[in-house]
Structure 1
């Protein structure tokens, strides 16, 4: 590793407070939680940690300044230092480099690490990244520090995958409630607001409601695709709705007021006299909500329906009518 003073950007004459401030600045800048997609930043974070391991500890800093250990904390002299136990002026079993985490142990067998509040600095930084849960645990300061160190220097946190959810929504929910119930990957059911103007196939994103992350990473998002349920009466045409309205023959001929269903309650629709089957009448604002805050329309298509049973009087009337008042029901394109 490079010279720890250079890594931290301080002079060899720097005070403990200056070293601590420099480490805090680098740790915040390059912390893995803030740079999940930047391997370079994670390497710099690792290097800053190793540098502070050396010069953030009074004893190790003194040994480094005297040339007894190198920038990695290893003895500079093969003889007389800790290969087989404490020697004269030597080390007492400095623990090996942890290849899995990329960091050196903080303790020597001769005593605990006393690097000027390393755990306090790291806990303070992690707390700012939503990591307050990484604080000291019941096993004591040593165990808590080790746990914090393992979390901070292990694999970078990974965000959970998004969860694809299909919500089958009724037209009544779209128009009246504006919400629909959705079951999340956690098993919890929540009411999801349907934004005005949402149409078939559009997706609503629920942030942080997807699959959980790993290594402390945040949860993914729930991607809720809206599917409109088929309605027994209304057909969706964009933001408009189409309704087939059955009429008795005499209602079509003479005109009538007919009770007509809508998604917000039935209304009385005036049918003009002499209305043909297939005629479309428009009820303004009785369709689906639009993105601009309005509503589509309800298109009412008249459908003349004959009596369910044969009627001799109607047969006689239609026979006479055909003879007295014949008319063409179809245009020339049918000739």
Structure 2
């Protein structure tokens, strides 16, 4: 992991969120482990993924810029000089000859989240005490396609250390959601457990599906005769194809609702799917169709733009 996440992505510290996202996706398209066997590319992708995970969060980015956390998202120990600490009224050991257990001092220096423990008799020759600290959490970004995120499923990943894992993607996963893989982070110190791997999911946009909260919108092309006469046609849903009834006289832009066919939301309740109709003319208007329309227009002509003109638009 690079010490400077901005350098890992090749952007300046004043880069916008959009510029940061664009830079990450550019690297992912060339250096992703699934696309190349080059070890150097794998390292660049690993560094870029960790950098993007840090900088995409406005609060985390601000804390890094202020120097409160490092490039791995870990708290930076606040610098305190021994003299300042020893003379402070807050020092519980001030004026005492017995220095005893220094675990509270470590907590002050490293913060409660990174505090180690001292175990009696665990390391002979080291005063009967040893230092245990939980391993560091590793952060990655995992891109999944829209339907995998919507339906749920399993995707296989390869960690930078070479370990292959099958990751369960919950149904209804949203962009930016994080999955925790316990014990797949950095090794612990002493007898402390390893850290976790945190996968931030990036849901890839799909031109056929437009999510809007728990609802989704799709476009269904229909023929001229289906628009005029109506009928039953097949439409794709997250769960697979279903038959949909097209009403007589359907128009482009008209939306039909499929209840409970959207994304899984809070409490397991699913949203709806909105099917937007799009009337598509035949590849070629032959003479028979043209003559029919000419005859029909003589007695049935109408102006679809009249309503807009009356509304002043």
**Alignment of structure 1 residues 106-185 onto 2, 5 Å:** 122-123=121-122, 145-146=124-125, 149=126, 152-153=129-130, 156-185=131-160
The TM-score with structure 2 as length reference comes to: 0.56
Kept in 1: contact 2:181–2:198 (CA 8 A): yes
* Cα pair distance change 1:217/1:38, threshold 3 Å: farther
Deviation at 1:203, TM superposition (A): 2.0
| Local SS of the residue matching 1:223 | strand
**Alignment of structure 1 residues 64-143 onto 2, 5 Å:** 122-123=121-122
Bigger CA drift: 324-333 or 260-269? Answer: 324-333
Deviation at 1:285, TM superposition (A): 1.3
> Which residue of 271, 285, 290 maps to 2:260?
285
The TM-score with structure 1 as length reference comes to: 0.53
Quick check: 1:329 aligned with 2:304? Answer: yes
Structure 1 regions of 5+ residues with no counterpart? 9-25, 50-120, 124-133, 135-144
RMSD of Structure 2 on Structure 1 (CA): 3.4
* Cα pair distance change 1:262/1:187, threshold 3 Å: same
Deviation at 1:276, TM superposition (A): 1.0
- Aligned residue for 1:317? 292
Q: Deviations over 1:267-298 (max 9, x none)?
A: 11011111111110111111111122111111
Deviation at 1:208, TM superposition (A): 3.2
- Aligned residue for 2:219? 244
Quick check: 1:265 aligned with 2:240? Answer: yes
Distance 1:238 1:217 in 2: 41
Bigger CA drift: 204-213 or 310-319? Answer: 204-213
- Aligned residue for 1:191? 166
> Which residue of 107, 123, 127 maps to 1:37?
107
* Cα pair distance change 1:212/1:258, threshold 3 Å: same
Structure 2 regions of 5+ residues with no counterpart? 1-92, 111-116
- Aligned residue for 1:233? 208
Aligned length: 209
Deviation at 1:230, TM superposition (A): 2.7
Distance 1:267 1:299 in 2: 13
Deviation at 1:245, TM superposition (A): 0.3
Larger Rg: 1
